[in-house]
Structure 1
């Protein structure tokens, strides 16, 4: 039995519900608003859709899986590519396609079981692609930390920017390594708060204005988010380029989803792969992404930050997760708060991005280590090497003005193909193997 303070379907008191829900909301807040900030989407819509997607996920999984859905970092680069090609609307169309692919995969798993997907997506394919996600964004993070007008031809080195970025980074590191309890699960949010304060001080010390409060003063207390509705705010035009930029990333996010379900199952002493089933949790994730994209939000994924809160509090109640979702939805309509979020300086975002993107890359390396991938095996060496260089190097195949495959998407596709055609057998996911062995022993 689980040593839960509140188990999955236990209802907390009103006071507990409010405080515990707010804890979960703050745990996901920094990461969820960082993704739209980096991709020129609306932070308010990201918050709103994270709440809506989480409620959808809870409903689809029969209120059996206490997981919170936030903005996915795997789609930052693809959203940027799609937006450059045809504006934010193109990124939303790509995200809709991602949600539909999730639905199709969940249908296949429902009919045929989940083992086939693990053969297509073994650790030797998924881990290097995860590393590409983090390392591919490294230049973006460092440029934001050092330059005014970062990532543009007009970029100019700024010492005040770099100082603020370093303070933000140090604060996030200290929070992550030296604090305990719920605070340790919110390094991104804490780092951003400290960086924001440092920016205010920098304004007077260096004479460089990093924060402009005019938009906050002008904003209304209650204000609807900036929705992006297909057919109204943008033309619904599907192109092969945007589909190929977004859809192949599903290779990574589905593996991430399975990993989170295994970890979460260990925490709460349940087998979510079996009950309510991987097909249901994937469908919930996909529907959350689909509905999110229909109103202008980024693709969604289950959040490790909130799993961390579950570990620390031992409160597994889906009531609390649902409460956090409702809090996020309410907060999204606060014009003043969203305007304040919009004043977060670029170097603050750069500082937390250095840590966050580094952690993403390191998690790919960790997957290789935990699954004991043997690099004396030439097969493994070739697959990982090709994925890393194609992904980080930004390789692309251009077939026409409207049809190309590039970067992470190309790396993921090539990795899957190499795994299928090279002689030998891929090493399986050890965590999933352990789960299957435990299941066999119980039977």
Structure 2
């Protein structure tokens, strides 16, 4: 890990250190950011491009005061897959655009009346289980990638490759230190790819044929397609913003703690949420997955004590440059599905576990009937895939149903106070919000 004395938020490091610090952030986000488009059949190069552009937009919206890197959001994997079945990838991008607009609306409300209203509808007992649903709903996809070949037949070579990839990722996570400990996904992908190549599962034809310079494959409204509104896609994509908003606020609390600043007060939660929304709208406008702040990059800042937004901006610029290198995109596209499956087994499990951790950290008592009912209903509805068929063309999917029912139960069942635990995540007031405009 490249370390030095603490670098402030608005400080510019010496040029050589600036480049190295930015490269660290690029590597930290790389594995997870390219995994999402791989799973939803989007261009990894476009994901890198929109990740970089989204981060630069976020820095601009937050007035260069919050050092956060934005990458592909895992919460939108299943919604994008579902929306694609209805309206193609173009329809999924329209849905992502609508989700981004939700961020803007919420930001305006927070700027006007504070954030306590959000706490009332999103306590840990609702958000935690919904996050668990995201990870557990993806479990089948990870296992299928790990076990079945392109002909949908069980393959021992595939399973071995997935297990080797998983093992390397676990070892890197547990035992590697410093910078190497922050990029276990990258180690898993490289190790698994090497093992798959040894078994003859890697097709390198595309790498050889790819040009060094290549424009990412973009899906641009009114250029490559004409957008059209669909209630079905809206009901699939928009409710996910409920979960990602709560995740966003949690990340802001972590960044504030690490950097020793209260970013929720200054520049304000409304600005950071708006920045996330703008990044997601940019991604939707170019054909990339929705963006969210990355914990991996917060980890980099924790160890290096380098909080410079210029370093984060440098990583964003590097991501944009990488997106135009055709060989990089070709290498990513050549990664066999069992390698991705092996990494996904751990990643999706971590997502589910983070929902459980939210309940533990906030000391939520599941023994209380109220909490037991809310969490149980959310988990079964979400993982079971319950949906509401409004009409022939409009369907509300399981994840959205689970979140909506969970919020409804929280609002109508008695003894609300026991569902908040020790959470102080949303400790803002109207007066405090008015000072952060």
- Using structure 1 for the length normalisation, give the TM-score: 0.94
Structure 1 pair 429/17, CA: closer, same or farther in 2 (3 Å)?
farther
SS of the counterpart of 2:389?
Answer: strand
Question: Does residue 164 of structure 2 align to residue 173 of structure 1?
Answer: no
Q: Report if the CA contact (8 A) 2:54-2:278 is conserved.
A: yes
Question: Does residue 424 of structure 2 align to residue 432 of structure 1?
Answer: yes
RMSD over aligned Cα atoms: 1.6
* Structure 2 equivalent of residue 367 of structure 1: 358
* Structure 2 equivalent of residue 9 of structure 1: 10
* Aligned counterparts, 1:15-164, within 5 A: 15-149=16-150, 154-164=151-161
Residues 110-136 of structure 1 deviation map (CA, whole Å, 9 limit, x = unaligned): 000011111111100000000000000
SS of the counterpart of 2:265?
Answer: helix
The 2-side partners of 1:4 and 1:63 are apart by 21
The 2-side partners of 1:431 and 1:118 are apart by 9
The 2-side partners of 1:4 and 1:218 are apart by 45
Q: Report if the CA contact (8 A) 1:4-1:268 is conserved.
A: no
The 2-side partners of 1:82 and 1:387 are apart by 21
Question: Does residue 194 of structure 2 align to residue 197 of structure 1?
Answer: yes
The 1-side partners of 2:366 and 2:168 are apart by 36
Q: Report if the CA contact (8 A) 1:109-1:279 is conserved.
A: yes
- Could you tell me how far 1:292 is from its partner in structure 2? 1.0
* Aligned counterparts, 1:210-221, within 5 A: 210-221=201-212
The 2-side partners of 1:429 and 1:256 are apart by 17
SS of the counterpart of 1:301?
Answer: strand
The 2-side partners of 1:376 and 1:108 are apart by 35
Determine which of 226, 233, 255 is the counterpart of 1:242: 233
Q: Report if the CA contact (8 A) 1:387-1:414 is conserved.
A: yes
Unaligned 5+ residue runs, structure 1? Answer: 204-209
Residues 198-237 of structure 1 deviation map (CA, whole Å, 9 limit, x = unaligned): 111112xxxxxx1111111111110000010113323311
Q: Report if the CA contact (8 A) 1:288-1:300 is conserved.
A: yes
Q: Report if the CA contact (8 A) 1:82-1:245 is conserved.
A: yes
* Structure 1 equivalent of residue 182 of structure 2: 185
SS of the counterpart of 1:161?
Answer: helix
Structure 1 pair 290/228, CA: closer, same or farther in 2 (3 Å)?
same
The 2-side partners of 1:227 and 1:80 are apart by 18
The 2-side partners of 1:218 and 1:305 are apart by 33
- Could you tell me how far 1:376 is from its partner in structure 2? 2.2
Structure 1 pair 226/248, CA: closer, same or farther in 2 (3 Å)?
same
Alignment length (residue pairs): 427
Runs of 4 or more above 3 Å deviation? 433-437
Structure 1 pair 322/221, CA: closer, same or farther in 2 (3 Å)?
same
The 1-side partners of 2:421 and 2:177 are apart by 31
The 2-side partners of 1:270 and 1:264 are apart by 8
* Structure 2 equivalent of residue 385 of structure 1: 376
Q: Report if the CA contact (8 A) 2:146-2:342 is conserved.
A: yes
Q: Report if the CA contact (8 A) 1:262-1:432 is conserved.
A: no
The 1-side partners of 2:161 and 2:253 are apart by 38
* Structure 2 equivalent of residue 345 of structure 1: 336
* Structure 1 equivalent of residue 435 of structure 2: none
Residues 350-384 of structure 1 deviation map (CA, whole Å, 9 limit, x = unaligned): 00000000000000000011111112221111110
Residues 40-82 of structure 1 deviation map (CA, whole Å, 9 limit, x = unaligned): 0110110000000000000111111000000000000000000
Structure 1 pair 227/371, CA: closer, same or farther in 2 (3 Å)?
same
Q: Report if the CA contact (8 A) 2:70-2:294 is conserved.
A: yes
* Structure 2 equivalent of residue 206 of structure 1: none
The 1-side partners of 2:240 and 2:424 are apart by 21
Residues 245-296 of structure 1 deviation map (CA, whole Å, 9 limit, x = unaligned): 0000111000000000001100000001101100000000000000110010
- Could you tell me how far 1:434 is from its partner in structure 2? 9.5
The 2-side partners of 1:47 and 1:434 are apart by 31
Q: Report if the CA contact (8 A) 1:38-1:76 is conserved.
A: yes
SS of the counterpart of 1:369?
Answer: helix
- Could you tell me how far 1:429 is from its partner in structure 2? 6.2
Further displaced range: 427-436 or 217-226: 427-436
Unaligned 5+ residue runs, structure 2? Answer: 433-437
- Using structure 2 for the length normalisation, give the TM-score: 0.95
